[in-house]
Amino acid sequence: MATVSIMPCLDLKDGRVVKGVQFVQLVDAGDPVEVAKAYAADGARELALLDITATWERRESAYAVLERVAAAVPEVAITYGGGIASKVAAQAALAAGASRVSVGSAAVRTPALVSELAEAFGPERVVVAFDVEPSDETPSGYEVLIDGGRTRTGLDLVHAALDVRRRGAGYLLPTSKRADGAKQGYDTALIALLKERVGLPVIASGGAGQLEHFLAAAQAGADTLLAASVFHFGEIRISQLAEYLLQHGVCVR
């Protein structure tokens, strides 16, 4: 039986949870502490907390928000990202309560950072997040984006993912810009490609809108199912999703 984790994602902007479509059109989705507590009460044991504008705005990450959320839900493992561009920043996030740190743009701009973090904290604490979009100009068919999806790199996704695996990353978190917030389903071809070609655990992200979408991602090889708006706005509950997956042969950690 396949086994997955369910990971509600709290995108942060100005200290609030927000959600958008294709990384824009952001709407308020609540106070992060209250949202996290509600998810924990419904059975969530993992959360992603992502400061989505820290890198673009060139500012320090929202460690104070992380600290408040971690204190409110100590039973929940938090993957924290946004503005993590150095060992010092990663250490600050871990000290504030994160179980893992997620690096995105910084991993592309400074690949050696992945090695440094893996050596300092262990691969199990290092997630590399890739924002991507389909491309006919790259061998894998996917191009890596940075700066919250604003900047094209010309970098092939599989090439980049193999490099961070070699450097010690423990997890991959690919998000399809085209699918993000559209609720039309995860890019299952993207998930399957990374599992086959790279082999690291994959956190599926971008596009969940129905129970069936989560099942399809699990069947494509995702190890963790990340989603935001369907949870934030009450369309799907964590407990409901866990029961549905179990009924279809997928066990939830």
Exposed, middle or buried: residue 237 (CB in 10 Å: 0-12, 13-18, 19+)? middle
Amino acid (1-letter code) at residue 126: V
Please count the CA atoms within 13 angstroms of the CA of 181 that sit on its side-chain side. 12
List the beta strands (DSSP E) in the chain: 2-13, 16-21, 24-30, 46-51, 77-81, 100-103, 126-134, 142-146, 151-156, 171-176, 203-204, 224-227, 250-252
Q: Taking Cα atoms as reference points, which of 127, 121, 112, 123 lies closest to residue 46?
A: 127
> 30 by DSSP, 3-state: which?
strand
Which residues are catalytically annotated?
11, 131
Q: Taking Cα atoms as reference points, which of 77, 15, 14, 9 lies closest to residue 46?
A: 77
